[in-house]
Amino acid sequence: MSESRYQSFAEFWPYYVREHSHPGCRALHFIGSTLALVVLGVMIYTQNWWLLLVGLVIGYGFAWVGHFFIEHNRPATFKYPLWSFIGDWRMWGLMLTGRMRAEVERAHALVAK
């Protein structure tokens, strides 16, 4: 399916997963997202709302380094910002529970069919 034809998150998800095939890229996403959560917690606790910008820079910064220097692809955020954001957190949860590798294998198997 062409990237421009995704009509739902369910269609987008396998593409998103394949764009995060390299474990190093996924690790950078996980680190960036986790640090962004920490900054979010500090922001709420201290009520320093400018920390929201810091959290976004940290979260996306780590992720984009993974794409540009490890995966050598363009982050899905540029074309699908909402679905990419949702995908980031779904991937984070799957990584936290040790299920992301199987998801990557499943997404690549869909292309092989």
Summarize pLDDT for 86-108 with one digit per residue, the tens. 999 999 999 999 999 999 999 99
CA 34, CA 19: separation in Å to the nearest integer?
Answer: 20
Q: What pLDDT is attached to residue 1?
A: 47
CA 30, CA 32: separation in Å to the nearest integer?
Answer: 6
Q: What pLDDT is attached to residue 112?
A: 80
pLDDT digits (tens, 9 = 90+) for 33-84: 999 999 999 999 999 999 999 999 999 999 999 999 999 999 999 999 999 9
CA 104, CA 16: separation in Å to the nearest integer?
Answer: 10
Q: What pLDDT is attached to residue 2?
A: 47
Residues 104, 94 contacting (CB under 8 angstroms): no
Q: Is 46 helix (H, G, I), strand (E, B) or coil?
A: helix
Q: Residues 6 or more apart from 40 whose CB is under 8 A from it?
A: 51, 52, 55
